[in-house]
Amino acid sequence: MSKKTIVFTGGGSAGHVTPNIAIIEEIKRNNILDIYYIGSKKGIEKELIKKINIPYFSISSGKLRRYLDFENIVDIFRVLKGCSEARKILKKLKPDLIFSKGGFVSVPVIVAAKSLSIPIFIHESDMTPGLANKISQRFAAKIFTSFEETKKFFPENKTKAIGSPIRKEIFYGSADKGRSFLGFDDRRPILTIMGGSLGAKKINKAVRASLNQLTDRYQIVHLCGKNNIDDSLFAVSGYKQFEYVHGELADILAATHLVITRGGSNSIFEFLALKIPMLIIPLSLQQSRGDQILNAKSFEEKGYSLTLKEENLTSESLLNSLDLIEKKRKEVRMNMEHSSIGDALSILVNEILLTNQGKNV
């Protein structure tokens, strides 16, 4: 019997790609599906997918904007070209299912798949759907969301809230290995600060301005983003800075007592799964459409985290917020233990495998 085929799509940011990678890696263990990826010609997805040795096809794509701009006219033609390119690729691959994580590149793929009567699954990470998933929902056979609150934006009869698919390797970290890698001991707790792949300049500034007070309480891992290393701070005891870490991240998180993070859905669901209390500093409305603010609000209301607005971020407010979450740490951990969010990765893989066995539509 020949293998069945699945095509993944999604891009524009790492948040649209890393959950796909988690699903792909899990499906690869079964070795019963041929897996392909369709993305943009220059997006971050191209680099990330090639690292895991999945055949990658590029198409033209235009940015989906919610405001008037001359580029919207140009991008209409790019999207139409992308639809034509995607249709040719899909006719060649003959996939049994399309799985989309959103982002502007996914729309041509989904339109092309619908024209060929290929079933489509989509997953929305954030509290409110991005424009790509708003467009794509009408074509989807099934829609999955990270947040229960997001279901109201999609048709009830085909939408299910499951959480965010989390890479399995994140659960197998060793706290001892993490401390050894960092050169830390077990006498003071470890505070991990993650500002995203590009870093967060305001968070970096507030943390570094508070280092004397912070290093009195914690040993600090600061993932500060590309080109954001401060050479003058290498000698500070109990403070380790990295542009990013990859293979060692699971071990670092296993040793982590508290985390300061942006409000991206994938990250905060990972910390929830690992039961690490978090202080969320979401991107402001000046930098985003507000999805991280809503993500943070939902987690705070459920008792999983505290939120500090970026516009209120100072050295003093950072220290005060850390004091508060330390006082609530036991309560936060208990709330996390009782979370109703399931194993999204297993749910999605099961749905995909059942569909490709002809048992589900």
Average pLDDT, the chain: 90
Backbone conformation region of residue 245, classed left if phi is above 0, alpha if psi is from -120 to 50, else beta: beta
pLDDT greater than 50 at residue 35: yes
| Predicted model pTM | 0.88
Neighbours of 169 (CB within 10 A): 12
Torsion of CA 321, 322, 324, 326, to 10 degrees: 170
CATH code 3.40.50.2000 region(s) in the chain: 4-163+342-356, 169-337
Query: Maximum distance among all alpha carbons in the chain?
Result: 64
- Burial category of 114 from C-beta neighbours within 10 Å (exposed 0-12, middle 13-18, buried 19 and up): middle
pLDDT band at 98 (very low <50, low <70, confident <90, very high): very high
Mean pLDDT on 132-150:
94
CA nearest to 139, candidates 164, 101, 162, 107: 107
Phi, psi of 20 (to 5 degrees): -60, -40
CA distances from 142 to 42, 45, 159, 361 (A): 29, 23, 6, 8
pLDDT(211) > 80: yes
**For 324-354, what is each residue's pLDDT tens digit?**
999 999 999 999 999 877 789 999 999 999 8
pLDDT attached to residue 3? 80
Q: Write the CA distances from 98 to 59, 93, 105, 227, 339, integer angstroms.
A: 15, 11, 13, 37, 30
CATH fourth-level superfamily of 4-163+342-356: Glycogen Phosphorylase B; (3.40.50.2000)
Q: How far is CA 24 from the centre of its chain?
A: 15
The answer to whether 45 and 10 are in contact (CB under 8 A) is yes
Positive or negative, the Cα torsion across 102, 141, 89, 82? negative
Domain with residues 169-337, CATH architecture: 3-Layer(aba) Sandwich (3.40)
Q: Would you say 19 and 125 are in contact if contact means Cβ atoms under 8 Å apart?
A: yes
pLDDT tens by residue, 244-288: 888 899 999 999 999 999 999 999 999 999 999 999 999 887 777
Residues in CB range of 35: below 8 A, 6 or more apart: 5, 6, 7, 8, 24, 27, 28, 54, 55
Amino acid code (one letter) for 327: K
Q: Within 10 Å of residue 50's Cβ, how many Cβ atoms?
A: 13
For tokens 């893989």, what's the residue? 349
CA distances from 258 to 168, 190, 234 (A): 21, 7, 22
d(CA 223, CA 197): 9
Q: Look at residue 60 in the predicted model and tell me its pLDDT.
A: 87
Confidence of residue 74 (pLDDT cuts 50, 70, 90): low
- Give DSSP secondary structure letters for 54-99: --EEEE------SS--THHHHHHHHHHHHHHHHHHHHHHH--SEEE
Name 223's bridge partners.
Answer: 194, 242
pLDDT for 359 equals: 46
36-60: pLDDT as tens digits: 999 998 888 998 999 999 999 999 8
**pLDDT of amino acid 361:** 42
